[in-house]
Structure 1
Amino acid sequence: MELQHSPAVSHGTTVRATAPAQDDRIIETDIPSRLDHLTWSGFHTRVVLALGITWILDGLEVTLAGALSGALKQSPSLHFSNFDLGIANSGYLAGAVLGALGFGWLTDRIGRRKLFFITLAVYLTATAATALSWSIAIYTLFRFLTGAGIGGEYTAINSTIQELVPARYRGWTDLVINGSFWIGAAFGASSAIILLDPAVIDPDLGWRLAYLIGACLGLIVLVMRMWIPESPRWLMIHGHPEAAEAIVADIERSVLGHTQDAARPNLTTIRLRMRDHTPLTEVARTLFSSYRTRALLGLVLMAAQAFFYNAIFFTFALVLTDFYGISADAVGWYILPFAAGNFIGPVLLGRLFDTLGRRTMITFTYGASGILLALSGYLFSIGVLSARSQTVAWMVIFFFASPAASAAYLTVSETFPLEVRALAIALFYAIGTGVGGVAGPALFGALIDTGSRDSVFMGYLLGSALMIAAALVAWRYSVAAERKSLESVARPLAFLE
């Protein structure tokens, strides 16, 4: 059937349709180009604050799990062992894996905006329930559900931010947002310092109140997200070009005071065949056939950083208490400088990902992290480090490891087509965390229980080897995505010549 023109929706978007089939409609639009040519504005700052706070919540949760470990072991009602804590922390990560997969599929299917409300609601409910735990089984269950909410947040939030932020700011913005995990970590550590001080509050009550902090913060975030729009890029492909145009026009007016001129020579258009969903068979073919080298890269980066981070950070407090004799209520003081180094790394190095490029910086940060961990692990094994010098060593290591880990999420979220972006984030986060993250805390918990520094050193060497291997893979397969539109890095599956 011959295509018939329908009236232009507005601006630079035209819809042609073969009636009556909705899925046959073709759109010619400049929406991606218009979004990428905007300058940074208050709108983008608000998006980053309302959505990027997910990482602050995760940082809060992970830090509390580490900082509260001593209090949970000493709790008269729980009496957790190191192995119990390792299992519970692995349960949190397992929940994040399954939550990412399930919610990631839904994010590509029904939209970004709906999902970031659903996942936040799951997180709020579960983290509040954690404060009521009365046994290791119940505690692990609630931690699992909290992880499911956070895992779902990753997929909806990262895809939304990628699709709303202009191309030239994307690398630095993504790394800083992911690095904001450590703002949550610092907040969690500060809370633990106060709430675990026996002079202030009963420690068995203090750890419960600490978990309620996350729920209270989540309620504030819920209100902040009310005005965040759906991704126009998602809408234009999934049969809602009118809504996409209206949102982009509103964004332009808030940034520029007017809509952009469609005749501007630097605004380009693309042609897309709209669809209401992407079949899973096409998703699998895209990820593991058409983009198999990018899939390999994403998997390796995710797995290496997941093991590196989760194995070390979930057992941070155990190393301090078991090997350096630091009391449980003082652990937070050591997490604060550690968190500072982790946040400063992406802030200072992030812009280099947009200037020197992805390949150079990913290779450098992964390689440096692995080498430094091996060196500090050796010094730990021979007993020459104190609690303070150990913390300084970790600060230096994670100054590089933090942007490296953030770059894994950046790589996966920008190098796959829009229709499968959220599920790609979910899948590689899930596989990477399953391979490198879930086993890590339990493994290190068991190694620490041996009381042998040499055993813990072997665990550090494994993490070091994974990061160095990831650096080599990054040098070979990284994509030059810096300052390029998402559509030029990975053409939408609905793209038409």
Structure 2
Amino acid sequence: MSSTSVTGGTRSGRLAGLVVAICWLVVLFDGVDLFIYGAVLPGMLDDPALGLTKEAAGSLGSYATFGMLLGALGSGPLTDRIGRKKMIIASTALFSIASGICAAAPSLTVFGLGRFIAGLGLGGLLPIALTMVAEFAPAKRRNLLIGSLMTAHQAGGILAATLGLWLLDSYGWRSAFWIGVLPLFIAVPLVLRYLPESLSFLIARGRTDEARRIASDHGVELPSTTAPAASGGVPALFRGGLWQPTLFFWLASFGGLLLVYGVNTWLPTMMRAEGYDLGSALSFLIVINLGGIVGMLVAGRFADRFGAVRVAAIWFTLTAAGVYLLGIRTPLAVTYAVVFLAGVFLFSAQTMVYAAVTSRYDTAARATAVGSTAGMGRFGAVLGPWLGGQLMAGGNQGWGFTVFAGAAVFAVVFVSLAGLRSQERSAEPTPSLVGAGH
């Protein structure tokens, strides 16, 4: 192998690493903001001044996920037009400011509005970050890097639960939302300064001069891509026989996100209803997200070898078993083990749905495809917290784990159908070294 190709691989690997690192940070903050509601919910329910009931808590939890639905659906087409970097900045700023609204909210109405606005930013950010990583990742490591990115979401869940344990008793639930303002002052400046725009996106939009300048700045070559795309957007998801896998991916995402958001919102409260104290209930949230981190890395490696659709189907099946077992009271050590294993499969199953989507749509429509899959899945994310609230309010918390396990089975069926009706595309080659002097 020549020294040029080695150096090119090294430099392109460093650029991919830079993109993953910055996206990892913003997704970490995304995860904290998303999961903080479930982490502080027991404290909010115990706050007499707030007057929050369990039934209302489920509806309140759905405000953010409804905002995420609109954010994910809207951000994809917009990102495919104006660029990945601008939308990452806008989304991060939006959910940071909204967290401040929640912290200062004088009423449940204002708090709900803040969570809805936060959802717009949260829903827009994740599909863009996934798209960015997919477009910079080497083809043979794409699913692993997508899984690595999504460990940030689970780390955010762990940090949110840790903040809940640390802040609830001493500083109250509002303090956790004040911390949610920090990304505006930490992540946004870093994205502005260091995150490059996607080279594949720029070429697909005909902005070759801009792509060439960025490639020169980072010492890499332009990826060999097709000619500039004439159009993308939602119609591109239904052309050329893609309508079937598009609909199946949407339905799989619906089941997966109903499961993820239902469990993450209500796990501490459901475990308290099973007889565990508050400390243990919040610890389960930490443990399930630790399992999620392990699961992302394992799933990514398996998906690079066997395919993301196949791994997603197997993972959802194992998730159904794990979540169902959570409803069976066992010794504490066994419960922790089950919670951890459920986390290993729960979060990475949904991530592999996104990974499968990135490999089945071209550059012009990729962000729209990922965003629409996440966005249509948000209907499940809205339903999950609401459904958990209805079960809790009706004294049927024992059915919660069974219902969420059923959502996993639903996802198995449709991700499998999506795999049968679609074919994986080769990712654009990762940029390599520009000629001498750059």
The reply to whether TM is greater than 0.5 is yes
Q: CA deviation at 1:251?
A: 2.6
| Distance of 1:438 and 1:367 partners within structure 2 | 22
> SS of the residue aligned with 1:324?
coil
Alignment correspondent of 1:400: 345
Q: CA deviation at 1:451?
A: 2.3
CA gap of 1:357–1:103, structure 2 versus 1, over 3 A, is closer
Unaligned 5+ residue runs, structure 2?
430-438
1:357 to 307, 329, 344: 307
Alignment correspondent of 1:141: 113
Q: CA deviation at 1:432?
A: 1.5
Q: Would you say the 8 A contact 1:195–1:207 is kept in 2?
A: yes
| 1:269-348 pair list within 5 angstroms | 269=224, 271-273=226-228, 275=230, 278=231, 283-287=234-238, 290-327=241-278, 331-348=281-298
| Distance of 1:458 and 1:239 partners within structure 2 | 50
CA gap of 1:178–1:317, structure 2 versus 1, over 3 A, is same
CA gap of 1:144–1:290, structure 2 versus 1, over 3 A, is same
Q: CA deviation at 1:170?
A: 0.8
Q: CA deviation at 1:477?
A: 3.7
Once the two structures are superposed, what CA deviation does each residue of 1:116-148 show, in whole Å capped at 9, x if it has no partner?
111111111101111011222111110011110
Alignment correspondent of 2:320: 370
> Percent identity of the aligned residues?
21
Amino acid at match of 1:473: L
> SS of the residue aligned with 1:131?
helix
Q: CA deviation at 1:394?
A: 2.3
Unaligned 5+ residue runs, structure 1?
1-32, 254-258, 261-266, 488-497
2:373 aligned with 1:428, yes or no?
yes
> SS of the residue aligned with 1:68?
helix
Alignment correspondent of 2:435: none
2:208 aligned with 1:246, yes or no?
no
> SS of the residue aligned with 1:485?
coil
1:409 to 341, 354, 359: 354
| Distance of 2:29 and 2:160 partners within structure 1 | 9
2:387 to 443, 456, 462: 443
> SS of the residue aligned with 1:65?
helix
CA gap of 1:190–1:78, structure 2 versus 1, over 3 A, is same
Q: CA deviation at 1:274?
A: 5.5
> SS of the residue aligned with 1:314?
helix
Q: CA deviation at 1:473?
A: 2.4
Normalised to the residue count of structure 1, the TM-score between the two structures is 0.79
> SS of the residue aligned with 2:227?
strand
> SS of the residue aligned with 2:219?
helix
CA gap of 1:456–1:224, structure 2 versus 1, over 3 A, is same
Q: CA deviation at 1:300?
A: 2.8
Alignment correspondent of 2:182: 216
| Distance of 1:237 and 1:471 partners within structure 2 | 28
Q: CA deviation at 1:79?
A: 2.2
Alignment correspondent of 2:329: 384
| Distance of 2:405 and 2:140 partners within structure 1 | 37
| Distance of 1:75 and 1:271 partners within structure 2 | 58
| Distance of 1:118 and 1:348 partners within structure 2 | 32
> SS of the residue aligned with 2:173?
helix
Once the two structures are superposed, what CA deviation does each residue of 1:50-73 show, in whole Å capped at 9, x if it has no partner?
112233123212331111111101
2:404 aligned with 1:460, yes or no?
yes
Q: CA deviation at 1:86?
A: 0.7
2:115 aligned with 1:173, yes or no?
no
Query: What is the number of residues matched between the two proteins?
Result: 425
Normalised to the residue count of structure 2, the TM-score between the two structures is 0.88
Larger Rg: 1
